[in-house]
Amino acid sequence: MSGHALGVPKWASEAKAILDTVSAEGNEWAEMMNLWWRLESSTGFAGVGSSKGRPMEVGWWIQRARRTPPKIKQADAFATSWIGWWIELNPKGRVAAGPDKMLRTEGQSGWEGLTARVNGLLSVLMSLKWWKDAVEEEGDWEIAVSDVTWVLRQLLKQRYVAHGSIRVDCMLMRLAQRAQR
C-alpha cells in the first residue's frame, strides 16, 4: 500500500510512535498529540511547512530525513530559539507579552502559516520532545505545550468551520485509530 495504512503515511505513524513515548505530568501532552493527529488526519497528512526562524536543530533533523534527533547541548538557548520560531509561525495578531514570552490565547484568524504539514506541526511537536528531553525543570516547556495545544484547538475549529462538518474529522479519526491497531 505504498507505505500508507488507510491513508496514514509512514512518516506520520513513525512520528506518532516516537512522540507517544513522551512522559509528562497531566494530560496536556496527550491532548496535544490527539489534537495534532486529528488535524493531520483531517488534512490528509499534506505538504511542507515554513522554515523561517526555526531552530537550527530542526533543520539538522530534517536534512537527515527525520531519522536521528539532534542533541540539545544548551537547553536554554534552544528554548529561546524555539519560542522565537513559534512566535514567527503564529498570526501577527497573537502579540507576545515580551520577546521571550508565550503568546496570548486570543485571535481567531490568520492561521495560514501554521498548518498540518510534514515539516510544519510535526517539527513543532518533535522539537518540543527534544526540548523536554534536554531540561530538568519543565516550566517553560509546559507553557509551550499548553500554547501549542490551544493553537491546535483553534486550527481544528477553523477547519470545522471551513469544511462544514465534524463528521468528516470523526470518520478520519476512526480510520487513523484503526490503522494504529
Domain of 114? 10-180
Model pTM? Answer: 0.73
Domain assignment of residue 1, yes or no: no
Residues of the chain with pLDDT under 70: 1-6, 46-68, 95-119, 161-181
Domain assignment of residue 2, yes or no: no
Per-residue model confidence (pLDDT) at position 104: 63
Task: Please state, in angstroms and rounded to a whole number, the distance separating the CA atoms of residues 144 and 141.
Answer: 5
Domain assignment of residue 75, yes or no: yes
pLDDT digits (tens, 9 = 90+) for 5-28: 557 777 788 888 888 989 877 788
pLDDT digits (tens, 9 = 90+) for 108-137: 566 655 654 445 788 888 889 989 988 888
Task: Please state, in angstroms and rounded to a whole number, the distance separating the CA atoms of residues 16 and 10.
Answer: 10
Per the prediction, the chain carries an average pLDDT of 73
The CB density around residue 157, as the number of other CB atoms within 10 Å, is 12
The CB density around residue 21, as the number of other CB atoms within 10 Å, is 7
Domain assignment of residue 4, yes or no: no
* Domains in the chain, number: 1
Domain assignment of residue 3, yes or no: no
Q: Which three cell numbers stand for residue 149?
A: 495545544
Cβ-contact 22, 138 below 8 angstroms: no
